[in-house]
Structures are given as C-alpha cells and as structure tokens.
Amino acid sequence: MLQRGLAKNILVLVALLAALSGCICSTPQHPEVLQASHLADEPSSASLERFAGFLRIPTVSSREAPDHTRNPETFTKAHEYLESNFQDVWKQLDVEKVAEHSLLITWPGTNSTLDPVLFISHQDVVPADDVDLWSVPPFSGLIKDGFVWGRGAIDTKFSLTAMLEAVTTLLASNFKPERTLLFGFGHDEEVGGEKGAGSIARLLASRGVQLDMVNDEGGMLSVDGLKPLTHTPVALIGTAEKGFQSLRVTVKGTGGHSSRPPLDASTVADRMARVILAVDAQPPPTRLVAPTTSLLKALAPKAPRAFRWILSHCDNPLVAPSLAKYMAAKSAEFSGVVRTTVAPTVLQAGSADNVMPQEGSIIFNFRPMPDETANYTKEFLEGHLGRDKAHAAIEYVGEYGLPSNVSAAQGAHWDIMHEAASTTLSDQDIVVAPYLLTGSTDSKHYASIVKGGIYRFSPLQLSMKAGDTRRIHGLDERVTVNSYLKAVTFYEKLIKLSGSLSQ
C-alpha cells in the first residue's frame, strides 16, 4: 500500500511538473461573473449615493500626527455625514465616539448572557496625492461607467457604509438580535490602528467584554479564481494573518577618502551588498501549513484534473515540499503564503560623493508565518552575515507584530461566513475557502478578547484580470455598482446569522 502510494505521488508530481510547463498556462475563458446593475432601482441608487458621498470626505490618516489624522476636521465631517445619512442607526442604537475620531456602535442583544459579535471597518484611507495620475479626482466619489470611484472604495469605506445600510434595513424589518452586535470603526488602521481600534479594544476590555466572533476586512471574492489552481471564483476568508517584524543590520566598514578604496571589499557598501545578496540567494524556507493547506483542499474539487489529487493531498509529507516550492516560484502572492518573507526596505549610508562612509544600515522587514518562532528572524539574519559578521550588529525596530492565531475553517463561525458568502455574492457556483492574509488588519487589536474566531473578508468582487489588486492603495480605486450592492446583502445575511449564532 505504502509503496503504491509513493509511486502514485511520484507519478502525480511528474504529471504536475509537465502540466505546469505547458497546457495549464493557456487559460480557458470563463463566463463573466459580473451581473447587469439595477441603477434604475430607486433604493439602490440612494444607497450608492450614500456610499459615494462618504468617499468624498478625505479622511486620510497620518503616522506623524499625534491623533493619527492628517486633518481632524475630516473625521468630524465624516461623523456628521454618517449620522445624517444613517439616522435610524444613530437614533435607535448606542453610538459612542472613542478616542475622538473612532466610532463604536452597540446593538444590544435580547440575551445578554451571549458574548457579542464584532464587525470591524475603518474610516481612514491612505493618501491619494498623485491626483493627476487618476482618471477621476480621487475624492470625487463619482458613480460612472458602472463603477463607484474613489480612494477608499475597496479599502474599506465600502464595508463601513454597506454595514450601516444592512443595519438600517434590519432595523426597519424589526429584526432583534439575540446576541449583542458591535460595530467598531477605527480612524487609523492604515497607520497601525493603535489609536482607533486599539482604544476601542481597550474600552471593551475595561468593560469586561469577551467577543464571540470578529468580522474584519481581508480576502475578497476573486472572480478570476486562483490561476492556475482554479478558474472558479473563490471567496477568500482570512482565517489567519502573518506577523510583522523589522530588524536593522548596521555594518561598519573601511571609510575615508574615496580615491583610495580598499582592496578587500571591506567598504560599508560591499558589506551591505553581500548581506542583501545572501538573503536573496537563501530566503526563509518554504512550507505548507494551515490555513494554506485548507485553502488548497477547498480548491481541489474545482481544480484542473492534473491538480486535483495533489491539492487534496497537499499536507502529505511527500507532496507538501514540492508543492510549496512550486507555489513559491509561481508568483509573489503564492510565495507570501508558503514562507516567512523578508524584504530590504530602508537603506542608509554615505553623505558625500568623495567619502566612503564608516557605517551604514539596512532595515529588513519580515512577515512571519503563523507558526514561526519568535526569534527566527534574528537568527535568520545572523546566519546570513558570513564574512561580515564581526562588523555587523542586528537590532529590532519597532514592535513585533505576532502572527495571528488560525481560526477554525469548520464549526458554527465558519459556517455562517460560508453561508453568507455562498448565498449572496454570486449567482454562480463559487468556492469559499480559508486563506492566510499577508498584510495585517485592525482585528489584531482585539485578538486577546476574542474567544471564538476572527474572519477577515471584504465581500467585494475583485478581478485580477482587470488589475483590481493594483488599485488598492493605488490609482483609480473603484468598485462595481453591482459588487457594492451585493456587499450590502452579504452584511444583511451575516448580521442576521450572527445575531442568532448559538453556542
């Protein structure tokens, strides 16, 4: 049995490698997922207008300002705007300002013994200072050509107004949640979230609140699938996120007059270059662990035939190493989910064109895997210093953002995410799969008061083909009208299911 299993593994690996080098790259066209919009429909166009209006308020966060806002007045304006456009929410629910610019909304449940479910969004956006490079002004909030345009359309003002639309509809239908529902809208997620989400989390902790479940922005509905593994649309539910850690390597070298460079490649620049090249040549090892193994298994039934067996056996020790290596080589996105990544980000040395500096430094930013040990990053760099070891020092820069826990991809919490996504986002068959976020979200601030799971999902249709990933924090950020309206129905469904979540 064992022998036959082994032979099958090898055969499939050979088939996989053959497939990868040829046929799978020619992708069959699949039917367009986007549906015709219903702009003529009165309630939807009013809801689109409320979303677009929110995009016109430039609530840019800033690391430099003590309160993390570029202009505090824009947040005051945002609060006034939300209050006058979602009057029922402000009248019927408890709305608190936290740390002046953040919002916490409480919808009390009928059974106060049940722990609340928290929905997270954020009011702030990254700057859009390349105004001239946009097709429309970034804060114009235009509804045009079937899209709603503007900075924050994807990340993540859409979720804030879509949640409020859903709450408004549910209030009007006299829905009463059994479980208390909380909505936390921070104001500085884009610069770490410490003032906004951090303050809300501390306030909840001081009140002794334990959260049952958290829903935050995160993965999206990839309408193109995940090529080459599947062409079926995939809703990527972030059940974990990677960590964040920066370290600075400072090197000392032969400095002095640049007319007499040393013969032994001992300048600061030589040493810096060697360290960077060593890291490039030998990056952290690849491995397949949860939740990526769960993602691949969920994709298996919708994968091309050549992949099916391999994906459904991706945690088999004979398959995992080759598959991880394949994914690491395939794209930066896949590479990010199968290894701790490391990138040189800030390089400093030298101040005059005729002087070799005495000292220089490189900051390496790491994104550790969920199961990475805390001291791995430093040990990794120490192991790459080679002949420059005696001339280098390594220190931590900033806080270590620990990788998150991995939330369950089964059970009651997962089931409601699955149900909400599969019934509202597409008229077609989609895959709903767990996913490892390579970036980080506001949910990390609540991690210590969550008993159940954290699920990071932005219910938007994202098309790789249309270059949508580049629009996030980039130019021409926009969402389709249809996708926004579906997001509203997603939140209606999820809020309803959360309100009656038993356990």
Ligand X SMILES: *[C@@H]1O[C@H](CO)[C@@H](O)[C@H](O)[C@H]1NC(C)=O
Footprint of Zn ion (CB under 5 A) = 155-156
Rounded to 5 degrees, what are φ and ψ at 227?
A: -75, 145
Indicate whether 351 belongs to the interface with ligand X (CB under 6 A). Answer: no
Report the alpha-carbon distance of residue 61 to residue 72 in Å, rounded: 9
Residue whose entry in the numeric block shows the structure tokens 């038993």: 502
CB of residue 216 vs Zn ion: minimum separation in angstroms? 9
d(C-alpha 459, C-alpha 284), whole Å:
32
Alpha-carbon span 260 to 270, nearest angstrom: 15
Nearest to ligand X of 347, 374 (CB atom): 374
What binding mask, one character per residue, do residues 94-113 give for ligand X by CB under 6 A, x or -? -----------------x-x
423 binds, among ligand X, Zn ion, none (CB under 5 to 8 A by kind): none
Stretch that binds ligand X, among 24-32, 95-103, 160-168, 397-405 (CB under 6 A): 397-405
In the list 62, 316, 335, 405, the residue contacting ligand X (rule: CB under 6 A) is 405
Interface segment toward ligand X; rule CB under 6 A; list 219-227, 245-253, 257-265, 400-408: 400-408
Close Cβ partners of 417 (under 8 Å, ≥ 6 residues apart): 215, 237, 432, 455, 457, 494
Q: Which is nearer to Zn ion, 155 or 492 (CB)?
A: 155
What single DSSP character describes residue 35? P
- Residue 113 vs 174, nearer CB to ligand X: 113
Q: Which is nearer to Zn ion, 160 or 323 (CB)?
A: 160
- Minimal distance, residue 126 CB to Zn ion, in Å: 9
**Residue 97 or 451 having the CB closest to ligand X:** 451
Please tell me whether residue 114 binds ligand X under the rule CB under 6 A. yes
What is the per-residue binding string for ligand X in 363-392, x denoting contact by CB under 6 A? -----------xx-----------------
Residue (110 or 135) nearer to ligand X, CB: 110
The residue within the footprint of ligand X, chosen from 402, 472, 475, 497 (CB under 6 A), is 402
* Cα–Cα nearest to 497, from 179, 89, 238, 121: 179
- Please identify the residue of the shown chain whose CB is closest to the bound ligand X: 447
Q: Which is nearer to Zn ion, 155 or 468 (CB)?
A: 155
What span, in angstroms and rounded, lies between the C-alpha atoms of 94 and 405?
31
Contact partner, 156, from ligand X, Zn ion, none, Cβ < 5-8 Å per class:
Zn ion
CA 314/CA 473 separation, integer angstroms: 33
Q: Which does 375 bind (CB under 5 to 8 A by kind): ligand X, Zn ion, none?
A: ligand X
Q: Which does 468 bind (CB under 5 to 8 A by kind): Zn ion, ligand X, none?
A: none
- Does residue 175 sit in helix, strand or coil? coil
Q: How far is the CB of 114 from ligand X (least distance, A)?
A: 5
- Minimum distance from residue 203 beta carbon to ligand X (Å): 18
C-alpha 369/C-alpha 490 separation (Å) is 30
Q: Which residues contact 89 (CB under 8 A, 6 or more apart)?
A: 95, 105, 164, 167, 168, 171
Which tokens go with 432? 């709903």
Can you tell me the distance from the alpha carbon of 223 to that of 484, in angstroms, rounded to the nearest whole number?
14
Question: Which of ligand X, Zn ion, none does residue 113 bind (CB under 5 to 8 Å by kind)?
Answer: ligand X
SS3 489: helix
CB of 416 to ligand X, least distance (A): 16
- Candidates 404, 407, 426, 440; binder of ligand X (CB under 6 A) is 404
Tell me the window of 261-269, 306-314, 399-407, 423-431 that interacts with ligand X (CB under 6 A): 399-407
Rounded to the nearest whole angstrom, what is the least distance from the CB of residue 316 to Zn ion in the complex? 36
Report yes or no: 292 and 425 within 8 Å, Cβ to Cβ. no
Tell me, what amino acid is at 192? G
> Cβ-count burial of 193 within 10 angstroms (0-12 exposed, 13-18 middle, 19+ buried)?
buried
Residue 425 phi, psi dihedral angles, 5° rounding: -90, -20
Q: What 3-state DSSP class applies to 485?
A: helix
Nearer to Zn ion, 155 or 165 (CB): 155
Dist CA 242 CA 405 (whole Å): 9
The Cβ of residue 386 has, within 10 Å, a number of other Cβ atoms equal to 12
Binding mask 440-479 for ligand X (x = CB under 6 A): -------xx-------------------------------
**Partner in contact with 410, chosen from Zn ion, ligand X, none, beta carbon below 5 to 8 Å by kind:** none
Mark the segment that binds ligand X (CB under 6 A) among 119-127, 130-138, 357-365, 402-410: 402-410
How far is it, in rounded angstroms, from Cα 461 to Cα 52? 18
Both tokens of 376, joined, read: 């791995």
Question: Is residue 41 helix, strand or coil?
Answer: coil
Q: At its nearest, how many Å lie between Zn ion and the CB of residue 218?
A: 9
Find the shortest distance in angstroms from Cβ 497 to ligand X: 16
Instruction: Pick between residue 242 and residue 313 the one whose CB is nearest to Zn ion.
Output: 242
Q: Which residues contact 11 (CB under 8 A, 6 or more apart)?
A: none
Q: Which residues bind ligand X (CB under 6 A)?
A: 111, 113-114, 374-375, 402, 404-405, 447-448
